[in-house]
Amino acid sequence: MTTTQFLSDTRVLTGRSLRHILRSPDTIITTAVTPIALLLLFVYVIGGAIETGSEGSYVDYLLPGILLITIASGVAYTAYRLFLDMQGGIVERFQSMPIARSSVLWAHVLTSVTANAASVALVVVVALIMGFRTGASILAWLAVIGLLTLFILALTWIAVIAGLSAKTVDGASAFSYPLIFLPFISSAFVPTESMPAPVAWFAQNQPVTSIVNTLRALFAQESVGNDLWISLAWLLGILVVACAAATAIYRRRIR
């Protein structure tokens, strides 16, 4: 199987998955509804009682964490769609055709990147309407986009594992609940210093905090410090392990 054929097969299968998204754009809207609701709730209802110690508005402080929640919500659909393909016999039908087997997984991954990018863009537009402002340079924006894309890829491959391993539709998407909850125990909503010592320790040493801090610093035109390298180490590590595990599970399933 040549690289050219793999790319061609992946392109065709990605187009198939994207057409399903375009036929039901409510998927993207539904993914963004909860993060937007949290944005409205924390900025207009709770935010006035929260002291962050930052000079900007609370929406500026809050947005990075909301973007991660948006992605964590969106990848559940990847697990759901892959589960349906596995259970519906579509994958077996693809196996009978002369296509690259790995292109099936990559099509779902690229569809996830596209759909989640659209949801993130929608949340950013709402944040701008609510008063979010940034003086970030083009390079800083590219760094933000790159970090969010890496976050999407890492979580998507975890979603692929869930989609391949689940026994029911509910089980395929339920894996995302801890991922959605994780930003709440981080620096996404309040500084970790305000938390009780055991909770603060966990918050300071889990990946979401370093990612949120990096995004916040990029938006504020501040130094990212070691948070950038910690974020990259976490995301690349998760991506490599999840991709390898998903590929191994997929090979066992399609024997």
pLDDT band for 53, please (50, 70, 90 cuts): low
Could you give the C-alpha distances from 16 to 24, 177, 232, in angstroms and in order?
13, 27, 31
Tens-place pLDDT, residues 17-50: 788 777 766 666 777 788 899 899 988 887 766 7
Weakest-pLDDT range from 3-7, 140-144, 249-253: 3-7
Tens-place pLDDT, residues 117-139: 989 999 999 999 999 999 899 99
Burial of 111 (0-12, 13-18, 19+ CB in 10 A): buried
Contact between 86 and 253 under an 8 Å Cβ cutoff? The reply is yes
pTM: 0.90
Residue 100 pLDDT exceeds 80: no
Query: How confident is the model over 209-231, as a mean pLDDT?
Result: 94
Query: How confident is the model over 202-214, as a mean pLDDT?
Result: 95
Between 159 and 15, the higher pLDDT residue:
159
Q: What are the extents of the domains in the chain?
A: 3-253
Tens-place pLDDT, residues 149-173: 999 999 999 999 998 888 887 787 7
**Dist. CA 132–CA 63, nearest whole Å:** 8
Contact between 144 and 211 under an 8 Å Cβ cutoff? The reply is no
- Predicted local confidence at residue 93, as pLDDT: 67
